[in-house]
């Protein structure tokens, strides 16, 4: 089943209120939705991915959640895989939502649209995100081998996601 159709059904059953689904105490329902989305997401799903991530960013900032959730990380990885430099800003926002998330969401996740392209985009848009990413670049953290290593860590994350 295409993830978009599945999520539209879930969304419709919640009275058109995605926020209602993601404000419940039942984290398993939320995780099941994101797992289903993760399996077959496309560029057509970007709005849903962004909305879910924004809801989790708000929850993180309001201190309702501790740590970096699997849902936050899954959304950041999906945005990374969509390879759009504009997603770097939302991933940056997620990264900064709390201390645990800052440590768990690597700067490499922001580079889905390419390192040079993302740095150029960030330089025009956000000084703090750009300064951080540029510093990481200068330290070698955005080298080709680190990006390849990150892809390996995504594979490990996927194993963790589906164990839950």
pLDDT digits (tens, 9 = 90+) for 83-124: 999 999 999 999 998 888 888 898 999 999 999 999 999 999
Query: Could you tell me if 109 and 80 are in contact, meaning their C-beta atoms sit under 8 angstroms apart?
Result: yes
Query: Could you tell me if 157 and 72 are in contact, meaning their C-beta atoms sit under 8 angstroms apart?
Result: no
11, 22, 82: which is closest to 53 by C-alpha? 22
| Structure tokens that stand for 69 in this block | 């959730």
Q: What was the pLDDT predicted at 1?
A: 44
Q: What was the pLDDT predicted at 151?
A: 77
Identify the segments of the chain with pLDDT beneath 50: 1
* Alpha-carbon span 12 to 59, nearest angstrom: 23
Query: Could you tell me if 21 and 33 are in contact, meaning their C-beta atoms sit under 8 angstroms apart?
Result: yes
- Tell whether pTM > 0.75: yes
Q: What was the pLDDT predicted at 142?
A: 85
In angstroms, the Cα distances linking 24 to 14, 20, 62 are 11, 7, 15
Q: What was the pLDDT predicted at 145?
A: 75
Q: At what angle do helices 46-61 and 87-95 cross, to 10 degrees?
A: 20
Q: What was the pLDDT predicted at 15?
A: 53
* Alpha-carbon span 132 to 138, nearest angstrom: 10
| Structure tokens that stand for 50 in this block | 């962004």
- b/e for 102-138, b at 16 or more Cβ within 10 A? eebbbbbbbbbbebeebbebbeeebeebbebbeebbe
């Amino acid at each position: 089943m295409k993830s978009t159709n599945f999520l539209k059904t879930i969304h419709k059953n919640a009275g058109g209120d995605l926020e209602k689904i993601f404000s419940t105490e039942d984290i398993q329902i939320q995780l099941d939705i994101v797992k289903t989305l993760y399996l077959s997401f496309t560029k057509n799903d970007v709005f849903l991915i962004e909305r879910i991530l924004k809801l989790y960013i708000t929850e993180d900032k309001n201190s309702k959640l501790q740590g970096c959730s699997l849902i936050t990380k899954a959304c950041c990885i999906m945005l990374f895989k969509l390879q759009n430099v504009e997603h770097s800003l939302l991933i940056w926002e997620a990264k900064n939502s709390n201390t645990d998330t800052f440590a768990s969401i690597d700067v490499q996740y922001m580079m889905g649209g390419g390192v040079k392209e993302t740095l150029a985009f960030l330089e025009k848009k956000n000084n703090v995100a750009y300064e951080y990413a540029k510093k990481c670049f200068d330290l070698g953290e955005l080298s080709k081998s680190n990006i390849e290593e990150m892809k390996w860590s995504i594979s490990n994350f996927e194993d963790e996601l589906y164990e839950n």
